[in-house]
A and B are shown apart, each in its own frame.
Chain A
Amino acid sequence: MSNLDHGKFTRVTTLFHSLLALDVFLLFFSGYAIMFNDELWWLLALLGGATGTVAVHRIAGLGLITLVIFWVTLQVTSSTGRSNFWAAKPTKGDFDAFIQDIRFVLGRADERHPNARQFAGYKSDEVPLLSYVGKGVVAIFTIELLLLTVSGLLIWSKTGVASLFQTKAAAMAFVTFHGLLGVIMLMGVMFHIFEHGMHPAFYPVETKAFIPRSMIPEQHADGGEEPDTTGIERLSLSPSWRTVSTIFGAITVIGIVSVLIASIFDEGYPVPRELAIGGGPTSLLMTIGINLGILVLGVGLVLSMYGNVLRIRWERQLEASDQEPATAADGGEPRSDGGVESDD
């Protein structure tokens, strides 16, 4: 069971995250079945050939527009959303967190920076809403989704964009642009899955994005004593963590490297500079690598669903403990917040 130490997202955010994930996975599966059709021929066939795959991609693309516009509107209109803007703004602390992560890995720092910390433990008060990676994800997703949506709508009608530029090659150039743009997100999402699936304290999935903060009991430290560690040394490592994280880390790296190399050679579909139909060179190694990348995404999809299963279990547990009046699963007397510290 994963640790529930820092539910910081609201119910709407967690729900939005799950829907966005589902939609983006569909877009990746269908989009890269098209772009890397040499290597992912089976996926292309599975999604209903060229016609079916494109249909899936278009429907999921419309779903993405709905989700993105919904989110932007919500952030702008609601006060909760507006306050989030500041929580997502990069600060100097985020850069420090990156540097301290390097020092932590080299053994020159004892702890990760609060802005890098995924496991908060006793120090959950110091941990911001988003880690420095989280802020990077938000920033890159914002730019990428905007450009992908615009270029995606532009190539909705290939003949339309061809007539706009008076050449058919323009349509292909935009298709290529669209596909190459998504590669950044594809690589980023692979890392995202590793980052939130393979943290030793949360393995196999970090529930932060699945269990809303309204369901996390507030715990206040007794007295004024400030703990000097996160308390991670009190947690037991899962028996399978070392093996699974090594294998999954390796296939994530192979997947990222493979789609990166393939994106350099496979200039999309079909190639715009020289009008050759089909992708670039392919090989057994490339085929295996790209398929491993798609496997990473598949694991992400499963973990995303598992996170929701965990939330439902947690919900049940909370409801069960609500029946028994005396238990303190939600931090004792829920209605007293200001006086908690002096209570004990």
Chain B
Amino acid sequence: MTDRDDLPDVDGYNRIYVVISAVVGLAVTALALWVVAGFNVFHESLYRVNPTVEGGGIGADWVFGNTIPSLDFLIALIHAADVLMGAFILVLMFLHWAAFRRLADRMREPGESRSEAVAADGGERPVSEARSGGGSSEGGDGS
């Protein structure tokens, strides 16, 4: 692929920064992996006294479930965020769906053939003829 920096308005990323960023990305990943790989239970720091359910001994959490209020709150918060964002995403979804249908109504129907049909990839120069060719019933194509 030839470089096309001769075209205007093409200021891509400088190669140096791309390489630096890739190296930093890999380095941070390696560091994160190294940290979490060493993140494990240190048995001597575990609470081992009072081995009853009431006393919160080993295994008591299996009976109680999650008793940390902050974590409970976090989960409730995320549930709420899920529902709110879900509702909003559905609104956006229906909005775009309806907009797409309206846009599609403006386009030519599949079978419709006209003399100056233009490929969807804009094969022809767009502005010059379309605008001036008002005689070909092209202009105000409403529906």
Contact = CB atoms under 8 A, between A and B. Distances in A.
Given A260-B86, A263-B79, A214 B12 contact: yes
Interface stretch (A49-57, A87-95, A101-109, A298-306): A101-109
Given A65-B28, A156-B39, A168-B62, 11 more contacts: A78-B17, A101-B95, A101-B96, A157-B40, A159-B40, A177-B74, A187-B86, A188-B89, A201-B120, A245-B101, A273-B72
Contacts of A71: 21, 25
A173 B62 contact: no
A122 B129 CA distance: 13
A10 interface: yes
Interface of A: 1-5, 10-12, 62, 65-71, 73-74, 77-81, 101-102, 104-105, 107, 112, 116, 119, 121-122, 133, 140, 153, 156-157, 159-163, 165-170, 172-174, 176-177, 180-181, 183-184, 187-188, 190-191, 194-195, 198-201, 212-215, 217-219, 221-222, 225, 227, 231-239, 241-242, 245, 249, 252-253, 256-257, 260, 263-264, 267, 271-275, 315, 319, 322, 330-331, 334-335, 337
24 contacts: A67-B25, A73-B24, A74-B18, A80-B12, A105-B95, A105-B102, A153-B35, A163-B46, A167-B61, A173-B74, A177-B78, A188-B85, A191-B92, A191-B93, A194-B96, A199-B100, A221-B127, A235-B118, A236-B108, A257-B86, A264-B79, A272-B65, A272-B72, A330-B4
A121 to B, nearest CB: 7
A330 to B, nearest CB: 7
Q: Which 5 interchain pairs have the tightest Cβ spacing?
A: A70-B25, A337-B8, A156-B36, A200-B104, A74-B21
Contacts of A74: 13, 17-18, 21
Contacts of B61: 167-169, 275
Interface of B: 1-14, 17-18, 20-22, 24-26, 28-29, 32-33, 35-37, 39-42, 45-47, 61-68, 71-72, 74-75, 78-79, 81-83, 85-86, 89-90, 92-104, 106-110, 112, 117-122, 125-128, 130-131, 138, 141
A219 B32 contact: no
A236 B110 contact: yes
B21 A200 contact: no
Contacts of B3: 214
Contacts, number: 289
Contacts of B46: 163, 166
Contact of A191 (B11, B14, B89): B89
Contact of A213 (B9, B67, B108, B141): B9
A248 B20 CA distance: 41
Contacts of A322: 2
B93 to A, nearest CB: 5
B20 A73 contact: yes
A73 B23 CA distance: 10
Contacts of A66: 25-26, 28-29
Nearest to A174: B71
Contacts of A195: 96
Contacts of A156: 36-37, 39
B121 A3 contact: yes
A2 B103 CA distance: 15
A107 B17 CA distance: 47
Contacts of B7: 214, 217-218, 330-331, 334, 337
B102 to A, nearest CB: 7
Given A198-B100, A232-B107, A214 B21 contact: no
B66 A173 contact: yes
A184 to B, nearest CB: 5
Nearest to A275: B65
**Which of B26, B61, B67, B89 has the most A CB atoms < 10 Å from its CB?**
B89
B39 A160 contact: yes
Contacts of A119: 103
Nearest to B140: A233
B29 A62 contact: yes
B29 A231 contact: no
